[in-house]
């Protein structure tokens, strides 16, 4: 007697409905019919709504759903864990999509994975803090078979992590990864350092970047290099030779902060911007020195496997280098030097920030589970 196979269904619970979360839900709802996805839960900073059969959610109806749903709770991760775990069965997977930047949510990943719930996220926290959490995530995934996918943690929608994992899985030997990983830093130095000794002041470029929404509300959160250090941590942990190299995660990365020491204690973004012009001369001196050498300044990240060096620093590159010629706006560019890609590295480049491309990276990961 012939048997029919039901199509796979993925129950999706979304935590975080801000810019990226809202855009991700829009892309999810726009997926062509018949869709394998059933949106069963939404969690904001104030509420959780849940329906195991799927939320009746119209595009643009997020706020109304979160405020008006009769099945409404306070944000409750243990509740989500219990309910999603109960939904996991053959032919029916459950997926936690974490669109937050919350470390608290990230520390729950091992629990979800151990219960058989997949995790898809652009949240860098789980993969860039202490090694112990990362190892618990790996162990839980191996134990249950549930997968964690985090492409969007490094290059938003760019295929950075998947490219690196493919290189490793196919037996290539990665020698070095070098890139401009921060869209904010990319914009700032594309504008500030063009190979000429003169140009706009550093403080004015940072202020413009902030006005355009390229920086965090407090620009020191970008200028301190921590975001790049987190991304380097995530990539290094994809390399067997370096998996245990950063016991304290991004805090173990050699990172050069561009925040003037005198402003390190300034807690207000507005005050920081007001005082930054006091230090323009320091940056002008570095720009002039680079120009005399025929070079530009770029804030780059390096994972040197052969030397065991992982660093985020302000570097000088020739005006003919791709970091000087190929970048525009807030682009990212990542170069993989490997045994197969030696003198001419494999290059991934494009927009590395923004809600639309970040949500695309999350959606792309979700599709890998179908």
Annotated binding-site residues read 16-21, 100, 124, 216
**CA count, 13 A, side-chain hemisphere, 2:** 2
369: tokens are: 């589970």
Q: Which residues are annotated as a binding site for NADPH?
A: 100, 124
User: Are 118 and 94 spatial neighbours (Cβ–Cβ below 8 Å)?
Assistant: yes
341: tokens are: 């890609």
- Give the residue carrying structure tokens 């930047």: 101
Q: Which residues are annotated as a binding site for NADP(+)?
A: 16-21
70: tokens are: 């009769």
For the chain, first and last CA: distance in Å? 27
Does 316 qualify as catalytic in the annotation?
Answer: no
The CA R_g of the chain, rounded to the nearest whole Å, is 22
Sheet of 346-351, strand order: 254-255, 309-318, 295-304, 174-180, 331-338, 346-351
For residue 89, CA distances in Å to 10, 32, 186, 227, 292 come to 10, 24, 45, 38, 65
Which of 125, 231, 295, 316 is flagged as catalytic? 231
Cα separation, 191 vs 2, whole angstroms: 65
The pairing of strands 48-50 and 295-304 is unpaired
42: tokens are: 């939404």
Give the other-Cβ count within 10 Å of 159's Cβ: 17
Q: How far is CA 53 from the centre of its chain?
A: 31
Cα separation, 70 vs 154, whole angstroms: 38
Q: Which residues are annotated as a binding site for L-homoserine?
A: 216
Q: How far is CA 370 from the centre of its chain?
A: 22
Helix (H, G, I), strand (E, B) or coil at 302: strand
**CA count, 13 A, side-chain hemisphere, 364:** 19
Cα separation, 370 vs 37, whole angstroms: 9
Q: What is the DSSP letter of 5?
A: P
Residue numbers annotated as active site: 231
């Amino acid at each position: 007697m012939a048997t029919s196979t039901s199509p796979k269904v993925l129950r999706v619970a979304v935590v975080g409905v801000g810019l990226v979360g809202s855009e991700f839900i829009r892309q999810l709802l726009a997926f062509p019919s018949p869709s394998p996805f059933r949106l069963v839960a939404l969690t904001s900073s104030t509420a959780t709504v849940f329906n195991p059969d799927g939320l009746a959610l119209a595009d643009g109806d997020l706020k109304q759903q979160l405020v008006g749903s009769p099945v409404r709770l306070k944000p409750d991760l243990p509740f989500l864990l219990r309910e999603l775990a109960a939904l996991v069965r053959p032919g029916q997977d459950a997926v936690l999509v974490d669109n937050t930047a919350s470390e608290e949510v990230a520390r729950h990943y091992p629990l979800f994975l151990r219960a058989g719930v997949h995790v898809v996220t652009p949240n860098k926290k789980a993969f860039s803090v202490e090694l112990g959490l990362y190892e618990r995530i790996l162990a839980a995934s191996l134990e249950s078979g549930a997968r964690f996918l985090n492409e969007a943690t490094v290059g938003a929608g760019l295929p950075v992590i998947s490219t690196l994992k493919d290189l490793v899985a196919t037996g290539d030997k990665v020698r070095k990864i070098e890139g401009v990983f921060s869209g904010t830093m990319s914009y700032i130095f594309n504008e500030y350092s063009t190979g000429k000794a003169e140009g706009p002041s550093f403080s004015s470029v940072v202020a413009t970047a902030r006005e355009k929404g390229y920086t965090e509300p407090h620009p020191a959160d970008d200028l301190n290099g921590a975001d790049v250090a987190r991304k380097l941590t995530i990539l290094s942990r994809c390399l067997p030779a370096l998996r245990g190299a950063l016991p304290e995660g991004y805090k173990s990365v050699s990172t050069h902060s561009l925040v003037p020491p005198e402003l390190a204690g300034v807690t207000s973004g507005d005050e920081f911007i007001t005082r930054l012009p006091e230090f323009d001369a320091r940056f002008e001196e570095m720009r002039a020195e680079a120009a005399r050498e025929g070079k530009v300044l770029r804030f780059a990240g390096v994972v040197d496997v052969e030397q065991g060096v992982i660093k985020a620093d302000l570097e000088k590159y020739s005006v003919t280098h791709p970091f000087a010629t190929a970048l525009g706006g807030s682009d990212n560019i990542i170069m993989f030097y490997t045994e197969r890609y030696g003198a001419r590295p494999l290059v991934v480049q494009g927009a590395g920030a923004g809600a639309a491309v970040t949500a695309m990276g999350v959606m792309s990961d979700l599709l890998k589970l179908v």
